[in-house]
Amino acid sequence: MLEKNILLIHTGGTISMSEDTSGAVKPGAKNPLTEEAQILSGLANLIVEEPFNLPSPHITPKEMMTLKRIIEHHYNQGGIDGVVITHGTDTLEETAYFLDLTVQADLPIVVTGAMRSSNEIGADGLYNLISSIRVALSREAKGKGVLIVLNDEIHTAENATKTHTSNVSTFQSPQYGPIGIVTKRGIFFHHMPASRENYQIEDPSKRVVLIKAHAGMDSSLLLAVKELQVDGVVIEALGQGNLPPSAMEGIRALISDNIPVVIVSRCFNGVVQDIYGYEGGGKHLKDCGVIFSNGLNGQKARIKLLIALAMTNNMKEIDKMFSL
């Protein structure tokens, strides 16, 4: 009898889809991974849950909270040694980061997916799933937060991002690289995160929008967002964290309404800093009350702001969270 139990949660995505005769990739009546259960059964005792079957563009914080609660339920009941989640790749990094920040469970959690559907030549889903179960069974995976495993690489949920629309090596961690690798002989970690964050939330229902800055950007979109009565704004700013001066009217209007504005860079390497003192420059933005995020990309800063707003409306407390 196998010694370890893995909670396997299927959520949908390409890894759970098939290509039809017209070339369209879509969900079928059955999850093809279920039919491969015999192959997986030799790795661990699998406890399988399939709370929904959705393409990842359909995933919202509601589904992310469902996954959090399923994991915590099984963890509190006892009897599981790790968790593996199959997920569509388009928003996989957001779900993984949400779980990394919120799940109250001290055990390996791995999120995986596929770039090719189950019946395409070179399908990568089953291999990625087997690799993920092996990582979740690894003693060294514990204490490293939620992990993303695809293409023989192990990445942190905080740093991994989808970098290519179709390549099987799409998930990369700019600046940092993977923290481990999967080989035929074993699972090898070569470094680990220096710190961890975790927050207890119940209702991530606030409205947070993500905007990308560009040359000549004015305040019209920012003022429109303010009128929509959103709860928070994340801006992928220019360079080290700068905006055109014509955007400052909108920035001031949002902050005067106590709407937190978080700045990240539209560059995929580096961090934002309050360096430049000209109008719209980082120092100017900081002085106006804009919050600078410590190295997150836009979509993950949005997830973090969503979680922050589920706990507090205090600007100073939110700013402190983003400095971690």
Average pLDDT on 267-287 reads 96
Answer yes or no: are the C-beta atoms of 13 and 118 closer than 8 Å: no
Q: Tens digits of per-residue pLDDT, 147-204?
A: 999 999 999 999 999 999 999 999 999 999 999 999 999 999 999 888 899 999 999 9
Predicted pLDDT of residue 22: 83
Predicted pLDDT of residue 38: 62
Strand-pairing partners, residue 45, are 5
pLDDT band at 16 (very low <50, low <70, confident <90, very high): confident
Predicted pLDDT of residue 32: 77
Q: Name which of 30, 195, 199 is nearest 103 in CA terms.
A: 199
Predicted pLDDT of residue 37: 63
Q: Name which of 145, 198, 157 is nearest 311 in CA terms.
A: 198
Catalytic residues: 14
Predicted pLDDT of residue 1: 54
pLDDT band at 72 (very low <50, low <70, confident <90, very high): very high
Q: Tens digits of per-residue pLDDT, 117-150?
A: 988 899 999 999 999 999 999 999 999 999 999 9
Range in 29-43, 60-74, 249-263, 294-308 with the lowest mean pLDDT: 29-43
Average pLDDT on 248-274 reads 97
Average pLDDT on 91-99 reads 98
Q: Tens digits of per-residue pLDDT, 284-321?
A: 999 999 999 989 999 999 999 999 999 999 999 999 99
Predicted pLDDT of residue 17: 84
Q: What is the share, in percent, of the chain residues with pLDDT greater than 70?
A: 98
Q: Name which of 17, 12, 34, 37 is nearest 116 in CA terms.
A: 17
Q: Is the pLDDT of residue 224 over 90?
A: yes
Q: Name which of 209, 190, 201, 227 is nearest 62 in CA terms.
A: 201
Tell me, letter by letter, the H, E, C secondary structure of the chain.
CCCCEEEEEECCCHHHEEECCCCCEEECCCCHHHHCHHHHCCCCEEEEECCCCCCHHHCCHHHHHHHHHHHHHHHHHCCCCEEEEECCCCCHHHHHHHHHHHCCCCCCEEEECCCCCCCCCCCCHHHHHHHHHHHHHCHHHCCCCEEEEECCEEEECCCCEECCCCCCCCEECCCCCCCEEECCCCEEECCCCCCCCCCCCCCCCCCEEEEECCCCCCCHHHHHHHHCCCCEEEEEEECCCECCHHHHHHHHHHHHCCCCEEEEECCCCCCCCCCCCCCCCHHHHHHHCCEECCCCCHHHHHHHHHHHHCCCCCHHHHHHHHCC
